[in-house]
């Protein structure tokens, strides 16, 4: 063909939003950057040559747009789930001093097998959903002093693992709802899920914000501690009940707790040896340090106590330390087999101080530990599409390692049978 001129046509500034996470908070920030795409389109030549040039231009633009979209998805779904992973190392000599439990335990109880009421509320191809309720062993602070739960009973034949999911009492339902739904989907009906309800707080800091005297404060604190103790005992009684269920494998029962639920789960894991696995998400030890540092729902109550009783923050922490020693996870942590535990935390957590998180990890024998690089609340976004549901995936991976035939994959013969079928 004859000499063709090349006109550079600028497909001007295209604004590309990029999702990014900051280190100290899980903030989605719009970073706009102009990108100039320069294309060389033949200005002369035959119609076929010009058509080919425009076709190449469009294909190139589509390829670049696809690449940009892929990179943005990677930033949003991987970058925002940045984490530090420390595996469990058997015999690690750096493990902290082991704590010896005083006997008898606060959490021992006279056998009282619960006999819950049953009501089938839903059903699908894999699960029958049953609402359960039974009286608490003590005063648990919930409506009617009842333990209530939603039991997702698998329709698959045979005894299967049971995962007990604790709530964040009176605070938020999303984490427990999300992991309960995710476990059912991940296992494709190969596990049972018992999701405990908790509409009212175990530690009622709204009530703390109304105390007038030291006597009122300590009376209220004793009530809240009794709720905690009753809740741990009720978890043990749930394990008793699970052992009577023909569809539950009593050797494969796991417990998951988030935030306050992680503190309860820590103590339950130590006092209930029949729990084969535990996942502690955004928890810690030394609740007196947690309550003196956290600025979430408990801040108003703490500030009221300091002003009303004339205490300094150190005095407040010391007073709490004496009372809360009864339920401090560090007191019992030495009784936990670290191989059975996964700790998930927030590296920039200001609600669960670093000292409290470190104490729990060390006193439990340095179990597997994953730290998301954000604060307490923002790390929970790793349970959403923004974090690629990475937190759930870590829990699935850990439980699959503890209960290897309970994942969607199943055993090798089962996978072959599904493939052939």
Is residue 286 situated within a structural domain?
yes
More confident residue, 73 or 11: 73
Place of tokens 């956290």: 294
Task: Give the number of domains in the chain.
Answer: 2
Is residue 89 situated within a structural domain?
no
Cα–Cα distance between 368 and 398 in angstroms, integer? 9
Is residue 190 situated within a structural domain?
yes
220, 305 in Cβ contact below 8 A?
A: no
- Answer yes or no: do 194 and 343 share one domain: yes
Is residue 262 situated within a structural domain?
yes
User: pLDDT at residue 4 above 50?
Assistant: no
Domain boundary among 26, 57, 77: 77
- Answer yes or no: do 400 and 301 share one domain: yes
- Answer yes or no: do 122 and 45 share one domain: no
Is residue 169 situated within a structural domain?
yes
- Answer yes or no: do 68 and 185 share one domain: no
Is residue 269 situated within a structural domain?
yes
Q: pLDDT-based confidence at 242, cuts 50/70/90?
A: very high
3-state secondary structure of 385: helix
- Answer yes or no: do 169 and 23 share one domain: no
**Full DSSP string of 279-331:** EEES--S-HHHHHHH--STTHHHHHHHHHHHT--HHHHHHHHHHHHGGG-HHH
Is residue 83 situated within a structural domain?
no
Predicted TM-score (pTM) of the model is 0.78
**CATH number, domain containing residue 278:** 3.40.50.1820
- Answer yes or no: do 115 and 192 share one domain: yes
Q: Name which of 102-106, 146-150, 333-337, 411-415 the model is least confident about.
A: 411-415
- Answer yes or no: do 39 and 121 share one domain: no
- Answer yes or no: do 162 and 292 share one domain: yes
What sections of 188-311 are H helices per DSSP? 205-208, 214-242, 260-271, 287-293, 299-309
- Answer yes or no: do 119 and 59 share one domain: no
The parent domain of residue 216 ranges over 107-420
- Answer yes or no: do 190 and 44 share one domain: no
Is residue 205 situated within a structural domain?
yes
Domain boundary among 62, 77, 92: 77
Cα–Cα distance between 227 and 136 in angstroms, integer? 10
- Answer yes or no: do 178 and 225 share one domain: yes
Mean pLDDT of 313-330: 94
**Percentage of the chain lying above the pLDDT 90 cut:** 58
User: pLDDT at residue 134 above 90?
Assistant: yes
- Answer yes or no: do 281 and 319 share one domain: yes
3-state secondary structure of 396: helix
Mean pLDDT of 301-310: 93
More confident residue, 208 or 180: 180
């Amino acid at each position: 063909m004859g000499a063709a001129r090349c006109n550079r046509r600028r497909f001007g500034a295209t604004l590309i939003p990029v999702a990014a996470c900051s280190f100290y908070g899980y903030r989605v920030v719009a970073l706009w950057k102009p990108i100039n795409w320069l294309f060389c389109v033949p200005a002369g030549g035959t119609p076929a040559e010009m058509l080919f040039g425009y076709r190449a231009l469009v294909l190139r633009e589509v390829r670049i747009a696809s690449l940009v979209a892929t990179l943005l998805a990677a930033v949003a779904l991987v970058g925002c789930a940045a984490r530090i992973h420390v595996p469990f190392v058997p015999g690690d000599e750096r493990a902290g001093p082991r704590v010896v439990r005083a006997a008898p335990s606060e959490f021992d109880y006279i056998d009282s097998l619960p006999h819950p009421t049953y009501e089938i509320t839903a059903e699908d191809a894999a699960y029958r959903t049953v609402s359960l309720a039974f009286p608490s062993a003590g005063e648990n602070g919930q409506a009617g002093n009842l333990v209530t739960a939603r039991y997702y009973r698998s329709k698959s034949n045979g005894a299967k693992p049971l995962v007990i999911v604790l709530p964040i009492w009176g605070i938020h339902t999303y984490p427990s709802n999300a992991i309960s739904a995710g476990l059912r989907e991940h296992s494709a009906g190969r596990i049972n899920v018992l999701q405990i309800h908790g509409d009212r707080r175990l530690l009622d800091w709204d009530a703390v914000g109304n105390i007038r005297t030291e006597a009122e404060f300590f009376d209220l604190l004793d009530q809240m501690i009794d709720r905690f103790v009753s809740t741990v005992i009720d978890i043990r009684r749930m394990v008793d009940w699970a052992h009577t269920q023909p569809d539950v494998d009593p050797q494969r029962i796991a417990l998951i707790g988030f935030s306050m639920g992680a503190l309860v789960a820590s103590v339950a894991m130590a006092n209930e040896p029949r729990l084969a696995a535990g996942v502690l998400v955004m928890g810690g030890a030394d609740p007196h340090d947690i309550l003196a540092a956290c600025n979430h729902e408990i801040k108003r109550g703490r500030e009221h106590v300091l002003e009303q009783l004339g205490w300094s923050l150190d005095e407040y922490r010391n007073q709490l330390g004496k009372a809360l020693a009864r339920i401090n996870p560090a007191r019992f942590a030495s009784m936990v087999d670290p191989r059975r535990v996964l700790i998930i935390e927030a590296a920039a957590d200001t609600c669960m101080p670093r000292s409290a998180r470190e104490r729990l990890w060390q006193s439990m024998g340095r179990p597997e530990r994953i730290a998301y690089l954000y604060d307490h609340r923002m790390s929970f976004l790793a349970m959403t599409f923004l974090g690629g549901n990475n937190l759930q995936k870590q829990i699935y991976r850990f439980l699959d390692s503890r209960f290897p035939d309970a994942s969607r994959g199943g055993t090798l013969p089962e996978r072959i049978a599904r493939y052939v079928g």
